[in-house]
Chain A
Amino acid sequence: MSEVVQPGLELLEQQNRFVSNNMRRIFIQIYRIVRNVSDAQDLTQEAFIKALQRQEQLKDEQKAAHWLSRIATNTAIDFMRRKSRATFCELDEAPESHSESPEQELLRSEQRNYLEDGLRLLSPRERAALILRDVEGLPAEEVARTLGCSKATVRSHIANGRTKFQRYIERRKR
């Protein structure tokens, strides 16, 4: 049976630090695209494994964080593409919140479902572009860099995303 090669202690500490510093941010970024906690957890793990397998990219912390964001977004987009059109209901394991009334919680939940239904109508790239631009508030140049495409392509994704979403809202109002 082959032996597992253990990285040096310094490398291990560098990897652990990289994971700790970026994990929550990446998890939230992925969750906002895939809208499911379990999937976001799996994809966050996948993104970090992909990133940490390229040690040479981690030398500059700022560049590494940006590069990790790009891997995370592409991982989420690839997942959305592979995902079947059939959806499965999962029991939510989140603890109950007692900070708002049941009516407020129901309204908030309905509003969230309403918006998430609109998101499902977009292609994975349109969805990612819209989330990064209008939810995360990144400028278009940053969105283009994260998605690895030109500014013109990103603007096209953003325009299509907003248009489809707006049409969905108008249909629901009727």
Chain B
Amino acid sequence: MALHAGGDLGLVERLRTERHLAKCDRCRDSVAAFTELREVLPELAEIPEVPWNRLASEMRANIRLGLEAGECVRTGVPGEAAEVSKLRRFAGGRTALAFASVVALVGTGLILEQSSPVAGPLAGTAAAKEGPLVQATENGIQVRVGGSAFRLMNAGAKSVTYSARADGSMGARYLDPETGYVTINNVYVE
């Protein structure tokens, strides 16, 4: 009856239902109730008054930010694949030499990326023992002052990109495994 009230039955089903409705008061009442419901539901189409221009500006900016963050965390820049395919390929020794150079470069980069960057006063110096120390750990960014530490965790993400900046801050960028959102944490010490 719910489907009949909305005209959602196929031809054969509709004819069969109409034949039944001609004889059944209860089902006729049921169809009438569903028809009444369908007349009321369009009231849900109303949306509250919202400051649309402000909302739209915020959404546009956040969409742009989200796209750029997605480009950063993606493994490999999308354009690179197309660019590489356009390069002329050299056969023989030149290719092997170029390949070996790339492997060495990538390997060096990976080794450097694995080590925990440390921002703030240089570790091991006298100044480091006095002032706060911001550093990346295996599961987050840590601020240590003397014997106490505060850590901002990375929510269980497996692949995290850390960056240390000249102003002494530390950043972590990763895909949150629970929500699927790109998450960017920046820790500053003043």
The residue of chain A having its C-beta at the shortest distance from the C-beta of B33 within the complex is A166
Closest Cβ of chain B to A10, distance in Å, is 14
In the bound complex, how far is the Cα of B41 from the Cα of A131, in angstroms? Answer: 8
**Across the interface, which residues of B come within 8 angstroms of A46, CB to CB?**
66
Contact indicator A158/B49 (Cβ below 8 Å): no
The residue of chain B having its C-beta at the shortest distance from the C-beta of A16 within the complex is B60
B149 contacts the other chain (CB 8 A) = no
Contact indicator A162/B6 (Cβ below 8 Å): yes
We find that the number of chain A residues with CB closer than 8 angstroms to chain B is 49
In the bound complex, how far is the Cα of B48 from the Cα of A133, in angstroms? Answer: 21
A77 contacts the other chain (CB 8 A) = no
Closest Cβ of chain B to A84, distance in Å, is 14
In the bound complex, how far is the Cα of B54 from the Cα of A95, in angstroms? Answer: 13
Q: Which of A5, A37, A163 sits near B79, CB closer than 8 Å? A: A5
Contact indicator B41/A134 (Cβ below 8 Å): yes
Chain B's interface size range is 35 or more
Total A-B residue contacts, Cβ distance less than 8 Å: 110
Contact indicator B66/A158 (Cβ below 8 Å): no
The residue of chain A having its C-beta at the shortest distance from the C-beta of B163 within the complex is A1
In the bound complex, how far is the Cα of B40 from the Cα of A171, in angstroms? Answer: 17
Q: Which of A53, A158, A170 sits near B6, CB closer than 8 Å? A: A158
Contact indicator A115/B3 (Cβ below 8 Å): no
**Residue interface mask B41-80, A partner, CB < 8 A = 1:** 1111111111110011011101100111011100001110
Contact indicator B40/A115 (Cβ below 8 Å): yes
Q: Which of A2-61 contact B (CB under 8 A)?
A: 2, 4-5, 15-16, 19, 23-24, 27-28, 31-32, 37, 41, 44-46, 48-49, 52-53
B158 contacts the other chain (CB 8 A) = no
In the bound complex, how far is the Cα of B31 from the Cα of A166, in angstroms? Answer: 11
**Across the interface, which residues of A come within 8 angstroms of B5, CB to CB?**
162
Contact indicator A23/B77 (Cβ below 8 Å): no
Contact indicator A135/B45 (Cβ below 8 Å): yes
Contact indicator A133/B45 (Cβ below 8 Å): no
Contact indicator A2/B58 (Cβ below 8 Å): no
**Across the interface, which residues of B come within 8 angstroms of A16, CB to CB?**
60
Closest Cβ of chain B to A26, distance in Å, is 10
Contact indicator B50/A112 (Cβ below 8 Å): no
Closest Cβ of chain A to B151, distance in Å, is 22
Contact indicator A135/B49 (Cβ below 8 Å): no
Residues of chain B having any CB pair with chain A under 8 Å: 2-3, 5-6, 8, 33-34, 37-38, 40-52, 55-56, 58-60, 62-63, 66-68, 70-72, 77-79, 161, 163, 165, 171
The 10 A-B residue pairs with the shortest CB-CB distance, nearest first, are A162-B2, A49-B66, A1-B163, A134-B41, A159-B2, A94-B49, A45-B62, A48-B63, A94-B48, A135-B44
Residues of chain A having any CB pair with chain B under 8 Å: 1-2, 4-5, 15-16, 19, 23-24, 27-28, 31-32, 37, 41, 44-46, 48-49, 52-53, 92-95, 97, 111-112, 115-116, 119, 130-131, 133-137, 140, 155, 158-159, 162-163, 165-166, 169-170
15 contacts between A and B (CB under 8 A): A2-B72, A24-B56, A31-B47, A48-B59, A49-B66, A49-B70, A94-B50, A97-B49, A116-B44, A133-B6, A134-B6, A159-B2, A162-B37, A165-B41, A166-B33
